[in-house]
């Protein structure tokens, strides 16, 4: 079977390119373990990065004599698009019966690809995702691993049904995504299209699965600027989500405040309960909590700014 691997080149610009190198080399190594054929589709904005740079970068990690020969690597230029639009474009350009959507900043563990493919063959009527956890090799990673929306690292090897997956690594029949593309969000919103899409898919009884043995690591925000900008954007997007039909609330402001308070409380709770999972010592716990309460306070500011100055908030924090 031909598998179309779709890679957005947006996160690579915000994260460290070393992660993208490791992702590409891991993809190449694991592709030789399976019998399927592959094509690689990279979608990018030429105003932000040049095709020649990406091509040279990719071919350094993926030998042209591999399954990903030059005829099977495609560079798609689209101006003015962002994360989810890149993915939709990749699906439209793909030739494979199945598409594997991968982010440019995740690093797959060994046997991630064979496990996803095996699960897909068992459940080709649905979406099969790997387990995403935050890379906790440094302090900021430990903070986000404990308190952000990704699950903690798991040692399980099970494949289980789920209601929620992440868009950074999943495999699905191409026709399913052609019929169910990521929806257009409100002006200025940069995240959240996937939660809206998953809800619509569940209403159509399309199943979701997560393979706990097919793991990828995801980076925490990279640097101080990314830390605060991501928090502001997340607050804005979560507040505006309550105006979407699928998540509409009678009082979006109260709903957003409740969300902020709940996330702040869970930050404290999860740190105290799970700190050992990511090797946080007891004396580090207060600093983890303080860091993430700062993040969520900034998140709250992003939502409040959107309430007061919606047009400004929609133009700012494009991440």
- Which tokens hold the place of 34? 């399976």
- pTM comes to 0.93
Q: Judge if 157 and 243 occupy the same domain.
A: no
The CATH number given to whatever domain includes residue 112 is 3.90.550.10
Q: Judge if 90 and 237 occupy the same domain.
A: no
Q: Judge if 297 and 164 occupy the same domain.
A: no
Q: Judge if 253 and 306 occupy the same domain.
A: yes
Q: Judge if 204 and 288 occupy the same domain.
A: no
Range with lowest mean pLDDT among 13-17, 165-169, 231-235, 264-268: 13-17
Q: Judge if 185 and 235 occupy the same domain.
A: no
Q: Judge if 216 and 243 occupy the same domain.
A: no
How far apart CA 180 and CA 126 sit, in angstroms, is: 12
- Which tokens hold the place of 104? 């440019």
How far apart CA 10 and CA 7 sit, in angstroms, is: 9
Last residue of a domain, one of 220, 252, 279: 220
Q: Which residues are CB-contacts of 160 (< 8 A; sequence separation ≥ 6)?
A: 209, 210, 212
Q: Judge if 247 and 211 occupy the same domain.
A: no
How far apart CA 176 and CA 172 sit, in angstroms, is: 7
Q: Judge if 207 and 186 occupy the same domain.
A: yes
Q: Judge if 229 and 298 occupy the same domain.
A: yes
Number of domains in the chain: 2
Q: Over the chain, what is the mean pLDDT?
A: 94
215 CA to centre of own chain:
13
pLDDT digits (tens, 9 = 90+) for 80-134: 888 999 999 999 999 999 999 999 999 999 999 999 999 999 999 999 999 999 9
Closest CA to 91 of 200, 11, 179: 179
How far apart CA 260 and CA 30 sit, in angstroms, is: 40
Closest CA to 61 of 22, 102, 108, 107: 22
Whether the CB-CB separation of 260 and 303 falls below 8 Å is answered with yes
- Which tokens hold the place of 63? 């030998």
* Helices 252-274 and 223-241: angle between axes, nearest 10 degrees: 130
Whether the CB-CB separation of 87 and 160 falls below 8 Å is answered with no
Query: Could you tell me the sign of the dihedral formed by the alpha carbons of 120, 122, 126, 129, in that order?
Result: negative
Q: Judge if 279 and 195 occupy the same domain.
A: no
Last residue of a domain, one of 201, 220, 239: 220
> How far, in Å, are 130, 229, 256, 272 from residue 301 at the CA level?
33, 11, 11, 25
pLDDT band at 69 (very low <50, low <70, confident <90, very high): low
How far apart CA 102 and CA 11 sit, in angstroms, is: 11
How far apart CA 252 and CA 249 sit, in angstroms, is: 5
What is the full DSSP assignment across 299-310? HHHHHHHHHH-H
pLDDT value at position 67? Answer: 73
pLDDT value at position 5? Answer: 97
Residue 70 pLDDT greater than 80, yes or no = no
Residue 247 gets which letter from DSSP? Answer: G
Q: Judge if 230 and 215 occupy the same domain.
A: no
Last residue of a domain, one of 164, 188, 220: 220
Q: Say how many C-beta atoms besides its own lie within 10 A of residue 260's C-beta.
A: 21
Domain span at residue 288? Answer: 224-315
């Amino acid at each position: 079977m031909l598998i179309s691997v779709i890679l957005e080149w947006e996160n690579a610009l915000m994260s460290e390119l070393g992660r993208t190198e490791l992702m590409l080399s891991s993809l190449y190594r694991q592709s030789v373990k399976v019998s399927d054929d592959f094509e690689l589709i990279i979608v990018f904005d030429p105003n932000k990065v040049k095709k020649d740079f990406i091509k040279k970068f990719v071919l350094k990690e993926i030998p042209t004599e591999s399954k990903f020969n030059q005829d099977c690597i495609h560079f798609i230029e689209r101006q003015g698009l962002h994360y989810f639009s890149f993915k939709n474009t990749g699906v439209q350009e793909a030739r494979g019966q199945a598409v594997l959507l991968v982010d440019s900043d995740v690093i797959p563990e060994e046997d991630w690809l064979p496990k996803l493919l095996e699960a897909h063959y068992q459940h080709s009527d649905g979406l099969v995702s790997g387990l995403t956890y935050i890379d906790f090799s440094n302090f900021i990673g430990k903070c986000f691993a404990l308190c952000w929306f990704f699950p903690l690292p798991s040692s399980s090897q099970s494949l289980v049904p789920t209601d929620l997956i992440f868009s950074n690594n999943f495999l699905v029949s191409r026709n399913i995504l052609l019929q169910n593309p990521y929806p257009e969000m409100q002006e200025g919103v940069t995240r959240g299209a996937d939660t809206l899409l998953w809800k619509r898919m569940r209403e159509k009884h399309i199943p979701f699965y997560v393979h706990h043995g097919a793991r990828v690591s995801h980076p925490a925000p990279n640097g101080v600027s990314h830390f605060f900008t991501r928090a502001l954007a997340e607050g804005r997007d979560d507040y505006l989500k309550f105006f979407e039909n699928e998540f509409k609330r009678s009082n979006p402001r109260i709903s957003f405040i409740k969300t902020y308070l709940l996330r702040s409380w869970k930050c404290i709770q999860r740190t105290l309960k799970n700190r050992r999972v990511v090797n946080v010592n007891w004396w580090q716990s207060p600093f983890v909590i303080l860091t993430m309460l700062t993040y969520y306070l900034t998140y709250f500011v992003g939502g409040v700014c959107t309430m007061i100055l919606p047009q400004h908030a929609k133009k700012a924090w494009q991440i």
